[in-house]
Amino acid sequence: MTSSVPDPLGRAATVARLERVIDAIPVPDPHRGPLIALATRTPDLDEWRRFLASALLLLGAGLALSGVVSFFAFNWAALGRFAKMGLIAAATTAAAGGALRRPETLLSRVLLLAASVLTGALLAVYGQTYQTGADPWGLFGVWALLILPWTVAAAFTPLWLLWLALVDLAYALYVSQVLASPTWALSLLLGLLAMHVLALMAWELQHLQARPWLTDTWAPRMVAAATVLPLLVPAFVRVLHPGDADTLGAAALGAVSFLVVAFGVYHTAIRRDTFMLTLAAGAVMTIVTTAVSRLLMETLDLGLLGLMLITAFIVGEVTLVVSWLRRQSRGEAA
């Protein structure tokens, strides 16, 4: 027997229902009118055209770059060294030259992104053709160095993330292959943590300017998530086995604590960002729940009662965190 109660999410977003939601949040009076107008507005034809043009441009650039890589992979043996180098160099030059025509447009930035990717392909082909014997970390390091001027000139978020990823890869390969010390994992963790923290600080500093260089807030969120989430694994192991002489786990636990405090203070006092606060709260919940579970199940050995207490603890902490995040979200919206 099916229920006759309609799904609330399937109802139309009428002005009356929006006003009830606004009253429940609540939203200050000066923002009610613009919020209702924004919520009930539909994009016009020009906005749809701009959106589709941008989406298809990015999709086409990705497919074209994939086609270039596939072409050289399939025809590697049939092409001579000069053909390989010449084709990639010509494509790189054409992409970089095309970006000079209208440098303020999205097309120009996408062309610089394509030229940056092709630069890496050119370096790889050169290394394979002439067998330079260079280490892989040197390839990524030189690649990042060569495209740094384009990264600054383009002011394009995907290109900035590509450059940061190349720096991460160069450092990771250098630590694991060149240093190869017993503490290479600790050096890798601390080095990547320092680079990501510096990248986040640089992004926040430019974002606070009157005319910021980058405005896409999803980029620092990706960097923050890529920093916190890998740290949770060794921190989790450290909490489960606190008696072990695990320097990596202790460092990861300290790094997570530092990031949680930094995100919590900055994104509540200076720039409200619910995603960053959710990431910090999730990390705290993971560590605290692990510690409580170990206490109840291993130290106190409560068995079934311990499982029930853990469940009640998780429900309680989730309720508190959601309530706190809702208050922060209201402040961000205001």
- Tokens encoding 222: 């990706």
Q: What is the mean pLDDT of residues 135-142?
A: 91
Average pLDDT, the chain: 87
pLDDT of residue 296: 93
pTM: 0.82
What digits encode the pLDDT tens for the residues 273-303? 999 999 999 999 999 999 999 999 998 989 8
- In residues, how long is the chain? 334
pLDDT band at 221 (very low <50, low <70, confident <90, very high): very high
pLDDT band at 9 (very low <50, low <70, confident <90, very high): low
pLDDT of residue 331: 65
Tokens 């922060």 found at = 328
CA-closest candidate to residue 173, choices 202, 144, 130: 144
Residue 170 neighbours by CB under 8 Å, 6+ apart = 137, 138, 140, 141, 143, 144
Which percentage of the chain shows pLDDT scores above 90?
53
Residue 69: pLDDT above 90? no
pLDDT of residue 314: 95
Tokens 């790889």 found at = 124
Residue 105: pLDDT above 80? yes
Which percentage of the chain shows pLDDT scores above 70?
92
Q: What is the mean pLDDT of residues 93-113?
A: 90
Mean pLDDT: which of 8-22, 85-99, 236-250 is highest? Answer: 85-99
Residue 163 neighbours by CB under 8 Å, 6+ apart = 116, 144, 147, 148, 151
- State yes or no: cis peptide before 136, omega within 30 of 0: no
> What's CA 136's distance to the chain center, in Å?
24
Residue 37: pLDDT above 60? yes
Burial of 96 (0-12, 13-18, 19+ CB in 10 A): middle
pLDDT of residue 2: 47
